[in-house]
Amino acid sequence: MSALDSVQVKNLARGCAFDLAGITTAEPPDEAGYFAEWLAEGYAGEMGYLYGRRAELRADVRTLLPSARSVICLGLLYNTPPPYSTRWSAEDRGWISRYAWGTDYHEVMRARMEELVRRLRALATFEWKICVDTSPVLERAFAQRAGLGWIGRNTCLINQQIGSWIFLGEILTSLELEPDSPAPFRCGVCRACIDACPTQALVPTGKDEGPDYALDSRLCISYWTIELRGPIPEQRREQMGPHVFGCDICQDVCPWNRRAPVTAEPAFVPRAATPPLEALASITEEEFREMFRSSPVRRARYSGFLRNVLVAMGNSGDAKFVPALETLSQRDDPVVREHALWALQRIRLPQAVAS
């Protein structure tokens, strides 16, 4: 065992303003097998970065840090005051997922994790690697095993006290620390997230062991609006509603989030939650980069984000968007042009029928 013990590590983590901290071993989690099955089912869609070498790395974190003996799992609350997508309606505005309302959490998490490592290294010598989402780590599986929460049917990590609005990060370390007990599954027979999903993206696995539901990304609004490059399948566009970046429905309806506390982190104060669609449709690529500087929204890229805005405009059915849509239907970008024409047709067809 190291000179540092698990209690000290977790206390130092809380001193760095993490809301959750737990420890587990670096042994591969059972979910590594489930993840391989998930990929084999094609549920990752076109997210090619999840396959190949990165899939192998996810199976065992010791390929990232051969000396790893423990994983320090950390959680940061990002819940903010309402609105919530399931109790909100404004047809001239778009919905941005709650996790992207403030500063990109990767920057916030990494800075705090680096500070935690500095404090730990003042007390002990060890090797380490910081992992914040972009590293190939099965972070929810490790977090569950470290006692931070359980993986719900919505596939999010859920903590009994603070719900599922949680950013996760891990520090792989050569320290040999006493692991925490895994968190038990507490969803019971609840299927609120399954029933609320407008695209039925949470699909039964049909397996006796492991999770009973999985996320089929190919049916997920978050996947379409963030990860998918190119056109959104036409038969799926109506289901997107006002979503222009991500989707919160499966978390908004979760009973464990009813009493979720609000974050005290200034970086997560909302900057953009429900922006006006007309304003979004008029921004240039340079304005897009500036508007969403230090924001996860940039992941969608300008063309993809504009595509999402056009679908939301079409779904609104509001004729006031017609001039903007006509302008955008003349763009050189074939994806933007296609979705602008689709939105125009969606708005004009009911009008033509009514007349």
Q: Which of 133, 180, 212, 333 is catalytic?
A: 133
- 214: phi then psi, degrees, rounded to nearest 5: -135, 160
Number of helices (H), then strands (E), belonging to the chain: the values are 14, 10
CB contact set of 97 (below 8 Å; sequence gap of 6+): 222, 243, 245, 246, 247, 248
Return the exposure string of 256-282: e unless at least 16 CB atoms fall within 10 Å of the residue's CB, then b.
bbeebeebebebbeebbbbbebbebbe
Residue type, 41: E
Q: Which long-range contacts (CB under 8 A, 24 or more apart) does 292-296 make?
A: 294/103, 294/104, 294/107, 295/100, 295/102, 295/103, 295/104, 295/271, 296/99, 296/100, 296/104, 296/105, 296/245
Residue 30 bears catalytic tag: no
> DSSP secondary-structure letter at 163?
B
With beta carbons less than 8 A apart as the criterion, state whether 250 and 275 touch.
Answer: no
With beta carbons less than 8 A apart as the criterion, state whether 71 and 170 touch.
Answer: yes
Q: Rounded CA gap, 92 and 199, in Å?
A: 22
- Find the helix or strand (DSSP H, E) in which 311 lies: helix 301-316
Which residues form the catalytic set?
Answer: 133
